[in-house]
Amino acid sequence: MRFADPAFQERLQDALNADEEFALESRWFDGSILLECGPERCWLKVYRGQVIDRLEFVPAFGYTFKLVGSEDAWRLLVSGERTFTDLATSGSRHCETLEQIVAGGGGYRPPEIGIEGNGIEAGRLHLAILRLAAVLAALGSTELAAAGR
């Protein structure tokens, strides 16, 4: 993901502000969400259901919570190969046989996209986070298609 790209951040802000469900689920939130992929960061200030500011770095006063994942994890989300819930939850639903679980092919696996920071606020905004992930996936897949990948 190109979280630090100002043009991508602007498209993300516009898309989130146009998303009625994101607005509804974050209408009582006054805080910030950090998106992180390696050195790439996108800090989003959310107030009453709207993204009112964005930065490619974390300001001195920090963030409320962050979504952090590897480039591979975000690619899996954008490609549609895995859902946000699959990537943000430990364990695996992708075992076909009991033998795979016993052999270590399934069972416990740490989350590939972590949620760090204020867990109470992140939990309260669970549905808004799902909408954020859906908007990210849609934007990312549009960019992949435009790039011919």
- The residue ranges of every structural domain in the chain are 6-80+113-147
Q: What is the pLDDT of residue 104?
A: 59
Convert the pLDDT of each residue in 62-99 to its tens digit: 999 999 999 999 999 999 999 999 999 887 666 566 67
Of 140 and 80, which is predicted with more confidence? 80
The pLDDT of residue 18 is above 90: yes
Q: Which residue has the tokens 């986070």?
A: 129
Architecture of domain 6-80+113-147: 2-Layer Sandwich (3.30)
Backbone angles phi, psi at 70, to 5 degrees: -75, 165
- Contact between 76 and 112 (Cβ < 8 Å): yes
The single-letter DSSP state of residue 93 is: S
* Greater model confidence, 13 or 140: 13
pLDDT at 10 over 70: yes
Q: Using alpha carbons, select from 61, 60, 71, 7 the residue that is nearest to residue 35.
A: 71
Residue range 123-146: average pLDDT? 88
Q: For residue 71, give both structure tokens.
A: 């480039």
* Cβ neighbourhood burial of 123 (10 Å; 0-12, 13-18, 19+): exposed
Enter the pTM of the model: 0.86
